Amino acid sequence: MFYIGVDLGTSSVKLLLMDGSGKIEKIVSREYPIAFPHPGWSEQNPQDWWKETKAGICELTEGFDKSQVAGISFGGQMHGLVILDKEDQVIRPAILWNDGRTQKQTDYLNNAVGKDKLSAYTANIAFAGFTAPKILWVKENEPENFQKIAKIMLPKDYIAYCLTGVHSSDYSDASGMLLMDVKNKCWSREMMEICDVKEEQLPKLYESYEITGTLKPEVAEELGLPKTCIVTAGAGDNAAAAVGTGTVGNEKCNISLGTSGTIFISSNDFCVDKFNALHAFAHADGHYHLMGCMLSAASCNKWWMDEIIRTKDYGAEQKGIEKLGENHVFFLPYLMGERSPHNNPNARGTFTGLTMDSTREDMTQAVLEGVAFAIRDSLEVARAQGLHIERATICGGGAKSPLWKKMIANILNIKVDVIKSEEGPALGGAMLAAVACGEYKSVEEAAKAIVKVVDTVEPDVELVEKYEKKYRTFAEIYPALKPVFDKIAEA
């Protein structure tokens, strides 16, 4: 049998065809436009997602026995607001995760309602990208559209609805709406009241691997797929990517060094830190996870290489870096402000410790180390919750650097596993569909069978000790400069 994973991203939809053993048969990608109607706004037309997903499924399955496609599932961009009227027609363009118009509503939730209450209701605090502030924005600025709302959905859930006619969502994606009681896996009555939302306006919640429906007859005919093809709830992109990297089960970890950076830690038990420094969400494996998100990770190195020292030969710049754990230069990687664990949009990037003998290599090394130190900041929060992390998988463009992987292994004092396939949310989606169809008994079993480690970077005892001292110094720099960052922002 074949399984389709749909990764509904911000710039394109990526579709993956996998067989029952986990072999990836084919991958296709289809782009769609993104609109910026005002500075800081970010919107898309949900019908564009549906059009390109349909075309992508047809392209993906061409040349294969379509009757053998047993299931479809998803990973998807989180937090976006899709609103439908009573005829299930889209009311307005979707407001995306990276839309910044809701600062007023976010401040209202965090300050007027209060972070303590939000955390008690949802295990999280408000961010401008989350869904609840977007709902409040529509209510305040587009009251006529707010009155029309019959269903509130997330991006991938709209595609699932188009396939099945069922309004559904999953616990992992819904965790990022600020409308769900994450601990108890249900909609929060308090948050519904605050946002003036009724439960019938929200989709039914499922585990990521649970079946929500089968293809509508007319959709099955259009796509050439069997009417028996099941659709499962799927997961938010980070949780789906975690499935695709085998980050399921208790105390598993994945580090992503993309444009932004994430550290994703799965846990069998619900936990939340008292400062809400990390997101506390439900996971696609049926349990929970903590996630730290830094806004600039590999993009820090790209900025340093492309814009400052003006080179594209990243590898050559790293060749001269040999004295690990001995650098006297430090870099704060907050070029876009920072989310986890500081939650401070005013934070800025800095080099600290420069002297007349500082070299180009010292500064390049500091950039790489600064990102690793910042990831450790989030790991320390998780460790303070009693989680014991001994190893992590690694993915993203930055993971191509052997030096960076070595730094991360020693700065975090963990084993760093490199995996064979790095297809992220699309692979995770296909794996969830395979679990739903009974190919595997659980998400964990699927991950063990499909995700293969091809290399491991081990920490070195002597280097770990050196980096421990450097990390303690790094950890003092941001608190010392925070008042300065605030003054810079006011200027």
Among residues 172, 156, 141, 160, the alpha carbon closest in space to that of 7 is found at: 156
| Rounded (5°) CA angle 388-393-395 | 140
Instruction: Report the DSSP beta bridge partners of residue 14.
Output: 7, 29
Token couple for 307: 């814009």
For every residue of 49-117, which 3-state class applies, written as one string?
HHHHHHHHHHHHHCCCCHHHEEEEEEEECCCCEEEECCCCCECCCEECCCCCCCHHHHHHHHHHHHHHH
Contact (CB, 8 A) for 228 and 214 = yes
* Catalytic residue selected from 173, 237, 377, 417: 237
Contact (CB, 8 A) for 64 and 143 = no
Token couple for 160: 């699932």
Instruction: Report the DSSP beta bridge partners of residue 465.
Output: none
**Cis preceding linkage at 483, omega within 30:** no
Q: Is residue 196 flagged as an active site residue?
A: no
Residue type at position 405: K
Going from the C-alpha of 64 to that of each of 57, 61, 210, 427, the distances in angstroms are 12, 5, 26, 18
Q: Say which residues have a Cβ less than 8 Å from residue 491's Cβ, sequence separation at least 6.
A: none
Contact (CB, 8 A) for 152 and 250 = no
Token couple for 125: 């605090």
Going from the C-alpha of 193 to that of each of 121, 140, 141, 197, 199, the distances in angstroms are 12, 15, 19, 6, 10
Catalytic machinery residues: 237
